[in-house]
Amino acid sequence: MEGLLFVLSGPSGVGKNTVLKKVLAKRTDLTYSISATTRPPRGQEVDGVDYYFLSKEQFWAECQNNGFLEWAEIYGHYYGTPKKQVLALIQKGQHVILDVDIQGAAQIRQNYANAVLIFLHPPSITELTRRLRERKTEDEDAIKKRLAYLEKELAAVTSYDYVVVNDQLEEACRRVEAIINAEEVKVTRGYWKRFLNP
């Protein structure tokens, strides 16, 4: 059976990376898709681990090559999901999870109808701003750019299959895992139904 494609979106600083790290540590059947970006590395980020850091020219060459499953411009930089590795993993039966913004999620929805879209929601805007500032990875200007995108992001929530509020971290992780389990049950049931009643 093919693996499932999951998308996790949410405003910058809501905790997508934090939640993903915890969920991925528990599930060997789930792989994180490393995106390509033209944004410079920040903090301790490592090329090939957190992102593939590309020049604009390299990114565009990959775009022309039809090498991205989806791509978007966010906060003045380009971000894209490498297509080949994601499709190969899914074909091998591995679930894949993407951390993409609302534009990327819309493209995935359009091209991969079976993808499962999860939106990670902040408990409040005050708490989101606090997390973003406390992370200390962006200057005030970059933080403002990220918060300016918030309204559009929150308006897109209705296009997602699931909304998880990241208030208590452990609870949010449990909910994301529960979604993965529920979606697995759905496809397995469908597979056996088709197998037994062709």
**Of residues 20-49, which lie at the interface with ligand ADP (CB under 6 A)?**
none
Instruction: Specify the stretch interacting with ligand ADP by CB under 6 A; choose among 11-19, 102-110, 147-155, 177-185.
Output: 11-19
By CB under 6 A, the residues from 148 to 177 that bind ligand 5GP are none
| Among ligand ADP, ligand 5GP, none, partner that 119 touches (CB below 5 to 8 angstroms by kind) | none
How many residues sit close enough to ligand 5GP to count as binding (CB under 6 A)? 15
What residues between 69 and 88 interact with ligand 5GP by CB under 6 A?
70, 72, 74, 79-81
Q: Where are the beta strands (DSSP E) in 48-192?
A: 52-53, 68-74, 77-82, 95-99, 116-121, 162-165
Question: Please, are residues 85 and 33 in contact by the beta-carbon 8 Å criterion?
Answer: yes
Which residue is associated with the tokens 């565009």? Answer: 60
Helix (H, G, I), strand (E, B) or coil at 68: strand
The residue behind tokens 């208030």 is: 167
Give which of 151, 152, 156, 173 is closest to 164, Cα–Cα: 173
Residue 182 interacting with ligand ADP (CB under 6 A): no
Interatomic CA distance for residues 11 and 128, integer angstroms: 8
| Binding region for ligand 5GP (CB under 6 A) | 9, 12, 35, 39, 70, 72, 74, 79-81, 99-101, 103-104
| Binding region for ligand ADP (CB under 6 A) | 10, 12-18, 131, 134-135, 166, 169, 172
